[in-house]
Amino acid sequence: MSVNPGLSERSFMENKGKKDRKKELPELEDYNNHSKTSINGKTSIKDSKGKVVMRFEPSPSGPLHIGHAYVLSLNNEYVKKYNGKLILRIGDTNPENIYAPAYEMIPEDANWLTGNNVYKTIVQSDRMKIYYEFLEKLLELDKIYICTCDSEEHKKLISKSKACACRDIPKEKQKERWKKMFSEYKQGEAVTRLKTNLSDKNPAMRDFPLARINETEHPRQEKKFRVWPLMNLAVACDDIEMKITHVIRAKDHADNAKRQEIIYSYLNHKPPQALFVGRINFEDMPLSTTETKQAIKEKKYSGWDDIRLPFIPALKRRGYQPEALTKYSMEIGVTLTDKTVPKDEFFKAINHFNKEIIDKKANRYFFVQKPKKIKIKHAHPEIEVKIPLHPDDARGFRKFRAKDEFYIEDKLGKDKPYRLMHLFNFKNKEFISRELEPELNAKLIHWLPVSKELVKTKVLMENGKYVEGLAEPDAKNIKEGEIIQFERFGFVKLDKKAKSGLEFWWLHK
């Protein structure tokens, strides 16, 4: 179903009652004739096979979250559409703000979200020598210079479209300065800059930096390197080396895209086609990895998979399916329109998609929270009832033996008829009839027979608090990780079995 980006999530969900139409991605331009040039500039070939190669490049500051899922899902759908390749690239050339476990968490999250469709995973800090080669190539082309000017003074000159004294130093002297970056210059004393048009109307395009000295210990490379490429250089080099054809970018990276185009042009390479998307502002959801790490450290959250967090480990543990996040991303599509999505509306949308996927798979069981015991007068001494595991197929049945004592959670009203699901009708705690009688207008309630075989059960809700109760004996057969539906309660996922009982995680209605 096509969604006007200007619509609110509420309007979108109100329209879901209409017949769904599969949302199609816009066609990619120039995917049959994307030229490639090698680093030495000698080879220029055209991809006659029409393959699309795309990349997704998160920073290893933590695991992926719902914002990442939007862009990654679009990338994945495009490469599937064009039978292309998806490269996961971990951007860790800034030694600061790296969360070491993310090196394992990100590929795991990405493969889960894409259905193991990641062609290759690459870590940028493992490619430092390649970046140095590109810098030396640019140095040989006289396209970069090593600047030792005060950064504020340089900024003032650039704002006036004037060159600093370092810019016109001869190439051979620049090469000497380049070597000093690895040994003599201290952090902050020298930076590598690209020579661009100083008269460019956009000051951000003028002689921007490509590499700097950073002596912070790197979680992966430790103290092995001290000269680090900045984002624009690393991205441009990797896109060239990996023959990236198309890139999905946030529109606030438009200037970076233009900076990288300058680098591509100096290296005689055609830039990838850029598809820009607007920003999604998720309200009331903690997406900052820095703040979340601190909150985890302070024990405010149990970990990245805390049920209250919108990070992929948490959504996966709850039982959300990757296809639900993909459907959500496809409904938004490739649009420049910014969106503000409140928490409740986001979950309303993905719950809808998730239910479409799991509803036909999830077996049904009875669960009574805060159980209250009742006794029904004149009930049959013992009744055996067979209740289907699922209403739509013949998977089998759960069998109950019930007498006249039951656990329920509903508060009963005087002179009001009720029906114990699949069992019988009663009023004022007195048996009426077995058959379903529409004219009674009886309220349907679920129940459990009073029995020693009932299973102690608790469900962790999305607010981080538990709901406790009893589940039917057949709940013992549920496997860890299995998603089921507690009838008239909601979909849940069995998180773990313990001697004290079963612990489920709440999913959604």
| Annotated domain spans of the chain | 363-509
Structure tokens at 165: 């004294």
Which residues 6+ apart lie within 8 Å of 57 measured at CB? 88, 89, 90, 91, 235
pLDDT digit string, tens, across residues 304-356: 999 999 999 999 999 999 999 999 999 999 999 999 999 999 999 999 999 99
Ranked by mean pLDDT, the top range of 16-30, 34-48, 345-359 is 345-359
Give the model's confidence band at 296: pLDDT under 50 very low, under 70 low, under 90 confident, else very high: very high
pLDDT digit string, tens, across residues 480-490: 999 999 999 99
Give the model's confidence band at 383: pLDDT under 50 very low, under 70 low, under 90 confident, else very high: confident
pLDDT over 90, % of the chain: 84
H or E stretch at 111: helix 102-114
Give the model's confidence band at 5: pLDDT under 50 very low, under 70 low, under 90 confident, else very high: very low
Task: Please give the Cα distance from 103 to 235 (Å, whole number).
Answer: 18
**Degrees (nearest 5) of the Cα angle 452, 455, 461?**
150
The string of DSSP letters for 412-446 reads: PPTT-EEEETTTEEEETTEEEESS--GGG-PEEE-
Asked whether 330 and 72 are in contact (CB, 8 A), the reply is: no
Distances (CA, A) of 260 to 88, 209, 240, 368, 425: 19, 12, 11, 60, 72
Closest CA to 277 of 259, 252, 256, 255: 252
The string of DSSP letters for 144-206 reads: EEEE-S-HHHHHHHHHTT---TTTTS-HHHHHHHHHHHTTTSPTTT-EEEE---TT-SSGGGS
**Average pLDDT of the residues in 392-400:** 83
CA-CA-CA-CA dihedral for 308, 312, 318, 321, to nearest 10: 140
Q: What would you measure as the largest C-alpha separation in the chain, in angstroms?
A: 104
**Degrees (nearest 5) of the Cα angle 329, 331, 336?**
80
Q: What is the pTM assigned to this prediction?
A: 0.88
- Asked whether the predicted pLDDT for residue 7 surpasses 50, the reply is no
Closest CA to 470 of 493, 496, 490, 451: 451
Q: Which of 32-46, 305-319, 472-486 shows the lowest per-residue confidence on average (mean pLDDT)?
A: 32-46
pLDDT over 70, % of the chain: 91
- The domain made up of 363-509 has a fold known as Ribosomal Protein L25; Chain P (2.40.240)
Closest CA to 178 of 166, 190, 195: 190
Structure tokens at 483: 């998603």
